[in-house]
C-alpha cells in the first residue's frame, strides 16, 4: 500500500509540475490537477492539503532530481578544468529546463508575505549550495584551488554560469537554449573561475 501511495504522490506532483509549466501556478487549479491525474479532488487533498503544499513538493522534487543534483556529486576528474566544464554543462542544462524556469517564475510572483520561497531556500536550496561549497573547500584543502571562503567561491561559480543565459530564459527572450551555447558558457565560466581560484602550475626549470 505504501509503495502505491508513493507512486500516486509522485504521479500527482508530475501532473502538477506539467500544469504549472503549461498554465502557470496561478492559473492551475486543484480540479485541473485531479482531472489530469484521473482521480477525485478528495484523493488529491488526501495527499496534499493545499495547492501551496503541492507547490512546495514540486519545488523540492525539482531540486532533488534536476537542477542542483549535480552539485552533490562533484566529478572526481584528474583534470580540474574538464571536471568543472562537465559540471557546468550539467548544471546549466538542468537550471534552464522548463520546470526549473517555471518554478523560479512562480516563486518570484508569490505575494510578499508568502513564506514558501524562504522555506524552500532555507530547507532545500541553500543546503544544496552548501554541499557544493564543501566540495570546493576540499579542493582548497588539497591544494587544487586557492584558499578562500568556499561559500563565496560557490556563489561566484553560480554567478559565472547564470550571468548570460538565465535572465533571457526567465523573461522569455529565448524559449530554449542551444547546447552549444551551454557548453560555451560552461567553458568560459570554468576558465574564469580557475583564473580567480586556480593554482598556477610551477614554471618548468630552465637550463642555466
pLDDT tens for residues 51-92? Answer: 888 888 888 877 665 545 566 666 666 788 998 998 899 899
The Cα–Cα gap between 179 and 183 comes to 6
Please, which residues bridge with residue 145 across strands? Answer: 198
> What pLDDT score was predicted for residue 72?
60
Question: What are the distances in angstroms from CA 139 to CA 1, 115, 146?
Answer: 45, 35, 8
> What pLDDT score was predicted for residue 203?
42
**pTM of this prediction exceeds 0.85:** no
**Model confidence at 1: pLDDT above 50:** no
Question: What are the distances in angstroms from CA 3 to CA 7, 8, 59, 182?
Answer: 6, 9, 22, 38
Instruction: Give all domains of the chain, ordered by start, each with its CATH number.
Output: 2-49 (1.10.10.60), 60-197 (1.10.357.10)
Question: What are the distances in angstroms from CA 196 to CA 97, 150, 193?
Answer: 29, 13, 5
pLDDT tens for residues 118-168? Answer: 888 888 888 888 888 998 999 999 999 999 999 999 999 999 999 899 999
Amino acid at each position: 500500500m505504501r509503495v502505491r501511495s508513493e507512486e500516486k504522490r509522485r504521479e500527482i506532483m508530475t501532473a502538477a509540475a506539467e500544469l504549472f509549466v503549461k498554465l502557470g501556478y496561478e492559473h492551475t487549479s486543484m480540479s485541473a490537477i485531479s482531472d489530469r491525474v484521473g482521480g477525485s479532488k478528495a484523493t488529491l487533498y488526501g495527499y496534499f492539503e493545499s495547492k501551496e503544499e503541492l507547490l512546495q513538493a514540486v519545488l523540492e522534487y525539482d531540486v532533488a532530481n534536476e537542477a542542483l543534483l549535480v552539485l552533490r556529486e562533484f566529478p572526481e576528474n584528474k583534470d580540474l578544468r574538464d571536471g568543472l566544464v562537465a559540471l557546468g554543462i550539467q548544471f546549466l542544462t538542468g537550471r534552464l529546463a522548463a520546470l526549473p524556469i517555471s518554478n523560479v517564475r512562480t516563486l518570484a510572483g508569490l505575494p510578499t508575505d508568502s513564506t514558501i520561497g524562504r522555506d524552500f531556500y532555507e530547507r532545500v536550496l541553500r543546503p544544496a549550495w552548501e554541499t557544493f561549497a564543501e566540495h570546493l573547500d576540499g579542493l582548497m584543502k588539497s591544494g587544487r584551488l586557492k584558499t578562500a571562503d568556499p561559500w563565496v567561491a560557490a556563489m561566484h561559480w553560480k554567478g559565472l554560469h547564470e550571468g548570460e543565459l538565465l535572465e533571457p530564459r526567465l523573461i522569455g527572450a529565448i524559449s530554449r537554449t542551444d547546447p552549444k551555447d551551454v557548453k560555451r558558457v560552461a567553458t568560459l565560466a570554468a576558465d574564469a573561475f580557475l583564473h580567480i581560484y586556480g593554482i598556477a602550475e610551477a614554471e618548468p626549470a630552465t637550463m642555466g
